[in-house]
Structure 1
Amino acid sequence: MNIVVLIKQVPNTAEIKIDPVTKNLIRDGVPSIINPEDKNALEEALRIKEKFGGKVTVVTMGPAQAEEALREALAMGADEAVLLSDRFFAGADTYATAKTLSAFLKTVSYDLILCGRQAIDGDTAQVGPQVANKLGIPQVTYVKYIEIDGDTVTVKRTLEDGYELIKVKMPVLLTVTKELNTPRYPTIRGIFEAYQKTIRVVTAQDLGLNPEEIGLKGSPTRVVTIITPEHQRETEILTGGTKEVVNRLAEKVLSALK
């Protein structure tokens, strides 16, 4: 079984700050990590490979430093790694990103494509579904359980009030949630072997993509500005008898609704 895992290197949002003057993210000194739910996708791919055999290929689009994320994925147990890197890819929104990723995926063989539900730096949850759409294959999002029987995949899709049980034929793209599993840590041997492997670098020219239709130029959306929400909260503790407190609380709620 050939499994492709789409991952993204993202800044650790726990340490991100916004420049108060420029309103841009301050990336200097902020460590980059593999997007957390992409790690869940990779972990599941490795478990499937261990059970059924096959190959796991990790793919990311980004600058040269995204190689660090691919090395970590290799250290966890992935067999191959591909970096889509080109100055023409820069500034891509979800549409242009999906176009580039799908262009590469059309050049390889796969049975299953896995990726995280969404990236913590954008929270759009759009790239996975858009890739599936461009490839013309089925997709299931928000997956928290996967079972494979032959060429059929049975999944539980998370809903607000429960889940859906869905059966789908491969090839298929699944976006997964953190409830799916707990990602493993790379071993010392895995880390050593990861740095012995060659990461394949793919450019826009390799994929035959028009520079005018990818990256910033091929993105129909633009980030105009980024702001930090201001939190203004007031706390009041009501004291007294139960009836008195309930009446005062009701008055405040009704007043706030007017």
Structure 2
Amino acid sequence: MKIVVLVKQVPDSGAERNLRPDDNTVDRSSANNVINEMDEYAIEEALRLQEAHGGEVTILTMGPERASESIRKALSMGPDGAVHVLDNALSGTDALGTSRVLAAALQRINPDVVLCGAESTDAGGQVLPHMLAERLGIAALTGARKLTVEGSQLTIERQTEEGYEVVTAATPAVVSVWDTINEPRYPSFKGIMAAKKKPVETLSLADLGVSAEQVGWTGALTGVASHSKRPPRSAGQKVADSGEGGVQLVEFLTNEKFV
């Protein structure tokens, strides 16, 4: 089984994140950049599939030169190699352009299963898995909390607010996962050392047959028009209970439409 895991480098969600004032994009240069949290669960699931069914696991990343740090971190968990799509023309690419580039890379690799996080912490769009499946003409099994494989048949439990749905499809397919699917392993010292020697193929837009006009600022169909800092939290309303506290509390909850 050939498995590809999509990995995105994002600013650490535990630290303050900002947008750049000049182009309204995420400021990555001043942030502590890490692997997107959901993608770590996708890596773990890929490794479990490999352990159960054999095959190889490849990391696929689109990003600037510094994204190689996250590639090596991902490889230290156990995957066999990686592909890094690296091109200066990619700066400013939106989700639609990203799906075009990643789809071209996936067509080159031709995997049985594409695994990815259900969303990224820097955008939270949850649209990329669907876009990729559409471009590749394959099934999209999204929002998985459980994945099982029997031959060429994939079955997921899709997490919903009410419980879960059971969805099946044949390979090849795109599967996105939530953090309820497993517990990612920690890289061992042996894994960290081995990651330094694992192959990482670097591809440009030309290698993928994608025009620079279809990506970046020129090809983007969406963008952030303006942004501002979140306003500071205001002081809460205090209720002094002099016998009418319960009534005031109910009135407040009613006005806020909690009851």
Question: TM-score of the superposition, structure 1-length normalised?
Answer: 0.92
- Match for residue 248 of structure 2? 248
Segments of 5+ residues of structure 2 without an aligned counterpart are none
> Structure 1 residue 90: deviation in Å?
1.2
Q: Does 1:237 align with 2:239?
A: yes
Number of aligned positions between the proteins: 255
CA contact (8 A) 2:145 2:159 kept: yes
SS of corresponding position for 1:118: coil
Structure 1 residue 60: deviation in Å? 0.5
**Structure 1 segment 82-101 matched on structure 2, within 5 A:** 82-101=83-102
1:97-116: per-residue Cα shift (whole Å, max 9, x none)? 00100011111221110000
Residues 157 and 166 in structure 1, CA contact (< 8 A), matched pair in contact too: yes
Deviation at 1:246?
Answer: 3.2
Paired residues for 1:13-162 under 5 Å: 13-18=13-18, 27-162=28-163
Partner of residue 208, structure 2: 207
The reply to whether residue 220 of structure 1 matches residue 207 of structure 2 is no
Counterpart residue type for residue 2 of structure 2: N
> CA deviation digits over 1:37-77, x for unaligned, max 9?
00100000000101110000100000111111111111110
Partner of 1:164: 165
Deviation at 1:225, TM superposition (A): 2.4
The DSSP-based 3-state class of the residue aligned with 1:107 is helix
- Cα pair 1:132 1:173 within 8 Å, conserved: yes
Structure 1: gaps (5+ residues): none
CA distance 1:137–1:198, shift in 2 (3 Å): same
Sequence identity percentage: 33
**Aligned partners of 2:137, 2:19: CA distance in 1, in Å?**
41
Report the CA distance shift for 1:240/1:178 in structure 2 as closer, same or farther (over 3 A). Answer: same
Task: Call closer, same or farther: CA 1:76–1:225 in 2, change over 3 Å.
Answer: same
- In structure 2, relative to structure 1, the CA distance for the partners of 1:188 and 1:171 (3 Å cut) is same
Shift of the alpha carbon at 1:142? Answer: 1.0
* Residues 10, 28 of structure 2: 8 Å contact kept: no
Provide the TM-score with structure 2 as the length reference.
Answer: 0.91
**Residues 88-129 of structure 1: per-residue CA shift (max 9 Å, x gap):** 111111000001000111112211100001100111111121
Kept in 1: contact 2:239–2:245 (CA 8 A): no
Q: Distance in 2 between matches of 1:57 and 1:120?
A: 22
Say if 1:7 and 1:19 are closer, same or farther in 2 by CA, change over 3 A: closer
In angstroms, what is the RMSD of aligned CA positions? 2.0
Q: 1:27 to 1:215 in 2, by over 3 A?
A: closer
| Aligned equivalents of 1:221, 1:66: Cα separation in 2 | 23
DSSP 3-state at the match of 2:4: strand
Looking at structure 2, the residues matched to 249 and 117 of structure 1 have their Cα atoms a distance apart, in angstroms, of: 39
**2:189 is matched with which residue?**
188
- Deviation string 1:206-250 (CA, Å, 9 cap, x unpaired) is 011111111221110112223222133423135255xx4332333
